[in-house]
Amino acid sequence: MDIKQIYQDDSSYPFAPKKYLADDAPKDLSAIGDIILKTYDLMCQLRDAGVTVIGGFHSPMERECLNILLRGKQPIVICPARNIEKMKIKGELRKPLEDARVLILSPFSEMESRITTERADRRNRFIAAMADAVFVAHAEPGGKTEQLCREIFAWDKPLYTTDSNANNNLLSMAVITITKGTVLEWMTANKPALNHLNDKTGQ
């Protein structure tokens, strides 16, 4: 397996170690695992291209993707799997919200104030419907994310995933392998909103 080095000045270096460890954060990281690294690289490319990204940003990987996107200037739409009437706004979102860079959007009623698996599924379907194109980092064979991918595919929307053996189930469905040449050229030409989904969205 290939080992990738990620240095502190790389745009794909995780936000959390520098935030919490400060000067004790490792100067470089060694990584094995192509899906997560390719997803982080994609978020950097989308950020730099100014592409609007829609997602739930709930799982640890998604939160790191959000941290990467927040370092840019492009719009971000965050869709929690619950009503937002009494939701606490995290500190890192306050300035982007004031600057109208971030929109927090919810399709849930006032009574739906708790996050559940069912609401997470409904949320994912909602943001997939809103997006002009969808990126799926990974989907377990036969799982709910794969089922959603089949529905998105039937909607005739562009659907992308990473080039990985772990995604053979998606690639067999003719899901497009994401590369800088294939997706960013299309996205920057059309300025769409990209929905970021993966099979670890949690609740």
Instruction: For residues 92-110, give the mean pLDDT.
Output: 93
Instruction: For residues 34-54, give the mean pLDDT.
Output: 87
pLDDT band for 18, please (50, 70, 90 cuts): confident
Q: Are residues 28 and 41 in the same domain?
A: no
Query: In this predicted structure, what is the pLDDT of residue 26?
Result: 85
pTM: 0.79
Q: Are residues 123 and 63 in the same domain?
A: yes
Q: Are residues 150 and 51 in the same domain?
A: yes
Residue span of the structural domain in which 25 resides: 1-32
For residue 202, being part of any structural domain is answered with: no
Query: In this predicted structure, what is the pLDDT of residue 201?
Result: 40
Number of domains in the chain: 2
If DSSP states are collapsed to H, E and C, what string results for the chain? CCCEEEECCCCCCCHHHHHHHHHHCCCEEEECCHHHHHHHHHHHHHHHHCCEEEECCCCHHHHHHHHHHHCCCCCEEECCCCCCCCCCCCHHHHHHHHCCCEEECCCCCCCCCCCCHHHHHHHHHHHHHHCCEEEECCCCCCCHHHHHHHHHHHCCCCEEECCCHHHHHHHCCCCEECCHHHHHHHHHHHCCEEEEECCCCCC
Domain harbouring 193, CATH code:
3.40.50.450
Q: Are residues 126 and 109 in the same domain?
A: yes
pLDDT band for 200, please (50, 70, 90 cuts): very low
Q: Which residues contact 100 (CB under 8 A, 6 or more apart)?
A: none
Q: Which residues pair with 127 in a beta bridge?
A: none
Q: Are residues 4 and 60 in the same domain?
A: no
pLDDT band for 53, please (50, 70, 90 cuts): very high
